[in-house]
Amino acid sequence: MRSGMMKRGLGILTSLLPGAQSARRFERNMKECAVSDQGPSDFDVVEDNEQVRLEKNLEDCAVPEQWCSYFEMAEGWMQESWEKIIWPMIRGADFSNVLEIGPGAGRNTAMLAQHAKEIHCVDLNEYPLHKCRERFANYPGACVFHFHQNDGHTLPMIRDGSISMIYSWDSMVHCSKEVMHSYIREFGRVLRVDGFGFIHHSNFGEASSKRSFKENPHWRTDMSKPLFLQYCGRSGLRCVEQRVINWVEARDLDCISTFTKGSESGFIGA
């Protein structure tokens, strides 16, 4: 069974089955069958395939209940993160049309809304969007909200060149390098010339578990600071600043990357 034909068979099945979930179910089945074998299995080889890794990351992130307990707990940390880290890095940006990836229950959205004319919140899961709709239903300010569920790596609902600022805090740290690459390509498309991006992402890089990001400290993925720079370069974006963040028990775990598009005269920091 450990033949090249078997590997190719899995690859073909993955691409032919109707959706990622069916493909994953099939692969799980295969993994369970191979569990008593020694050494690397065919499943491990298939896991190296970029499309399969992207789908696995999305499937792992799409368990809605896993984020629920986080939402309330994290609310209390927002003000301090905003004042000490976030606001000093974004205060010079144009907030007229903001795109936020992974809003969760909207604690960042509430801060952004104090400055934004319009916010598009995009999340892979419906439950956080439902929480956001409830939270901002009677918003007293001038900001207009749009909530979109997506496939976890593309932004078909956002028009080319329509966004003045792209923002994500504490969500894309769970996105694999394949998912990040796909999103950064989309950022290059939707950002206006001279627009600004602020993305908090993993810097755990090569040290990451090959099986699941959930085995890594704070569920960080195989994304890294140099990869972010490289993906920006391929997508017509220019990194403005990359700031590595240390956790008490884990140094260099995260990175905040800011970027702009197009002209050299764009936003270059507050």
Ligand X SMILES: C[S@@+](CC[C@H](N)C(=O)[O-])C[C@H]1O[C@@H](n2cnc3c(N)ncnc32)[C@H](O)[C@@H]1O
Q: Which residues bind ligand X (CB under 6 A)?
A: 58, 61, 67, 70, 74, 101-104, 107-108, 123-125, 128, 152-153, 169-171, 174-175, 179
Q: How far is the CB of 127 from ligand X (least distance, A)?
A: 8
> Whose Cβ is closer to ligand X: residue 6's or residue 62's?
62
- Burial readout 103-119 (b: 16 or more C-beta within 10 A, e: otherwise): bbbbbbbbbbbebbebb
> Whose Cβ is closer to ligand X: residue 32's or residue 126's?
126
CA distance 60 to 66: 10
> Whose Cβ is closer to ligand X: residue 10's or residue 106's?
106
H helix or E strand, kind and range, residue 180: helix 177-190
> Whose Cβ is closer to ligand X: residue 1's or residue 157's?
157
Enumerate residues 6+ apart whose C-beta is below 8 A from 38: none
Of residues 46, 35, 20, the one with CA closest to residue 153: 20
Helices 126-135 and 65-75, packing angle to 10 deg: 40
> Whose Cβ is closer to ligand X: residue 155's or residue 191's?
155
Q: How far is the CB of 100 from ligand X (least distance, A)?
A: 8
Q: How far is the CB of 104 from ligand X (least distance, A)?
A: 2
Q: How far is the CB of 162 from ligand X (least distance, A)?
A: 19
Q: How far is the CB of 222 from ligand X (least distance, A)?
A: 14
Q: How far is the CB of 216 from ligand X (least distance, A)?
A: 14
3-state secondary structure of 260: strand
Of residues 243, 124, 132, the one with CA closest to residue 183: 124
Structure tokens at 258: 């800011």
The residue with its CB nearest to ligand X is 104
- Provide the pairing of β-strand 237-247 with 250-261: antiparallel
> Whose Cβ is closer to ligand X: residue 44's or residue 247's?
247
Of residues 174, 173, 181, 129, the one with CA closest to residue 150: 129
Tell me, rounded to whole angstroms, the distance of Cα 246 from its chain centroid: 19
> Whose Cβ is closer to ligand X: residue 64's or residue 262's?
64
Q: How far is the CB of 264 from ligand X (least distance, A)?
A: 31
